[in-house]
Amino acid sequence: MGGGSVLVAAAWGYPPGWRKAKYRVEPPQHPAFKRENLVERTSHSSTVECTSCSSTLALIRFFREKGWDVKTLIFGVDTALNPTGFTDGEEFRKSVKEQYLKWFRGLAETSDCSTESEVEVVVLPGIGRHWGCQFKGALLAVFNEAFHALLKAGKPTFLVVDLTHGINFQTVAVLYATVAAAVIWKKERDLLILNSDPYPAGVKVGQCVSGEKTEESAEVPELSLNDVSELQRAVRNIRQIAALRRFQMPELEDLDRTGELGQLLAYICLLANGAAGLTFSGARYDDGGAVAQPPSVEVKSPDTTPIIRDEAVEYPAPDQTYAVRTAIETVVSELQKLQRDNLVDFLNAVARHYKDVFSIQNALILKQTAQEFGRVIERAKKLRLRNELTAAEVKALVELSEESINETEFRHRVESLQREIEEERAELRDAAKRAEGNLDRWLRNLSAHGGLSYILIDKVRLARGKIDEVVYRRDLLQPLLDELMRQCKLKNR
């Protein structure tokens, strides 16, 4: 369809309790819709009105009529079905899902919001007492399951969340999960949050679908207050980790900066300070170890399979790290897209990213550095040099003018530069050994060369006419990285 894609995320509680209403959907006065001239595009039949027991069906019809490809996620809850008679949690969850699908079809059949759209149902853990059972779900588990389902559904053009029919805790969790998905997808500006007017009191209109009736009780129920602020913290952490894609160090006061996150932050610290060359996959220490690598992250899907007891429905404990690790995995995936099989192409790719995030100085430095190492390749070929160059040879190839490139002049220049580089290295060693040694000068040099400072490089290796490996002196680079990590607050003094 011509308009793009819309993902409708709808929180649904208990459909048999809903009554018919004439829903009116107008073109959203949303900045994103205005930006794409979508309001004007839909103005030929600006408003959709239809009668249904569900606002979700009205939304589906509205977007489909405007030419959009609509995908719908209905978030149900386990409490919609009586668990009595079930012993297997997976079978119970399957039955809950089938019941929601049956309700959806029933709502569609009794509505003039005719929709041929199929939906996907995601069942969330229940909380509270229902059907004589205590559902012992955790709010974080509800959030994790919804967040996972949204990401699995795939990135749309626009993300729409319908909060009209949800249960209190479920509505909050689905809303936060949708915001979290929008952050991951860089779609916060394309997020539309909708809720209908409240249903008027005293209106006696028939229901659209039926369900098992609960037994009435005169007993005063006991209700717990659930702390939903942990979901705000989860979204905040996701947003701060996602911001690492802009090569900026975040605050993250309440997160452990060790493990996978610590490794990612160390990698971003280099990029944030212009030392992109150190993050090249071919950057190695002279002992063979990699200089910097993003973490390898494998995130397991949340497990919220019900565990049915005599008078309780329990659930596995929620993964406290799921949201953070999902955000880390997303950032790592985007970092890996920047990698190339050779240094020059990698530097150019990162330079373009610097420009995209308005880090103009770093972009210019890296672009120039890429040009310099491009000249190294051309001139090494012209002089028929071997495929392994020292730092002095690399610098000589960069500095020699086109007219003076010959074997004699090159060797003379290499000898002179080798002495200069060794003098610089000696000064760096002395400064690093002193307890109060000031390494700022060499840190500036590191950033000014895009992480490819000649005094730190041991050798550069070429293969198939490209630079595929840069070998660094660990004894010289490690003290600088330690100091840089301290200044990025990733190491203590």
Q: Per residue of the chain (493 residues), what is the pLDDT tens digit?
A: 456 899 999 999 999 999 999 999 988 777 766 655 554 554 445 788 999 999 999 999 998 888 889 999 999 999 999 999 899 999 999 999 999 999 999 999 999 887 667 799 999 999 999 998 999 999 999 999 999 999 999 999 999 999 999 999 999 999 999 999 999 999 999 999 999 999 888 888 888 898 887 777 778 888 888 889 999 999 999 999 999 999 998 877 777 788 999 999 999 999 999 999 999 999 999 999 999 999 999 999 999 999 999 889 999 999 999 999 999 999 999 999 999 999 999 999 999 999 999 999 999 999 999 999 999 999 999 999 999 999 999 999 999 877 667 888 889 999 999 999 999 999 999 999 886 778 999 999 999 999 999 999 999 999 999 999 999 999 999 999 999 999 998 876 5
CA distance 418 to 53: 81
Q: Which tokens in the block code for residue 454? A: 């000649």
CA distance 236 to 239: 5
CA distance 76 to 224: 21
Q: Which tokens in the block code for residue 285? A: 């220490």
| Reduced 3-state DSSP string for the chain | CCCEEEEEEEEECCHHHCECEEEEECCCCCHHHHHCCHHHHHHHHCCEEEEECCHHHHHHHHHHHCCEEEEEEEEEEHHHCCCCCCCCHHHHHHHHHHHHHHHHHHHHHCCCCCCCCCEEEEEECCEEEECCEEEECCHHHHHHHHHHHHHHHCCCCEEEEEEEECCHHHHHHHHHHHHHHHHHCCCHHHEEEECCCCCCCCCCCCECCCCCCCCCCCCCCCCCCCCCHHHHHHHHHHHHHHHHHHCCCCCCCCCCCCHHHHHHHHHHHHHHCCCHHHHCCCEEECCCCECCCCCCCCCCCCCCCCEECCCEEECCCCCCCHHHHHHHHHHHHHHHHHCCCCHHHHHHHHHHHHHHCCCHHHHHHHHHHHHHHHHHHHHHHHCCCCCEEEHHHHHHHHHCCHHHCCHHHHHHHHHHHHHHHHHHHHHHHHHHHCCCCCCHHHHHHHHHCCCCCCCCEEEEEEECCEEEEEEECHHHHHHHHHHHHHHCCCCCC
Domain parsing of the chain, residue ranges: 4-198, 249-256+269-287+336-487
Closest CA to 393 of 328, 467, 464: 467
Amino acid sitting at position 89? G
What pLDDT, on the 0 to 100 scale, is given for residue 38? 53
What pLDDT, on the 0 to 100 scale, is given for residue 462? 96
Angle at 468 between CA 394 and CA 403, to 5 degrees: 30
CA distance 175 to 179: 6
Domain spanning 4-198, CATH architecture: 3-Layer(aba) Sandwich (3.40)
Closest CA to 193 of 5, 14, 13, 11: 11
CA distance 375 to 399: 10
Q: Which tokens in the block code for residue 377? A: 């390749």
What pLDDT, on the 0 to 100 scale, is given for residue 412? 92
What pLDDT, on the 0 to 100 scale, is given for residue 333? 96
- Asked if residue 285 lies in contact with residue 266, where contact means CB atoms within 8 angstroms, the answer is no
Q: Which tokens in the block code for residue 152? A: 């699995």
Closest CA to 183 of 235, 245, 248: 235
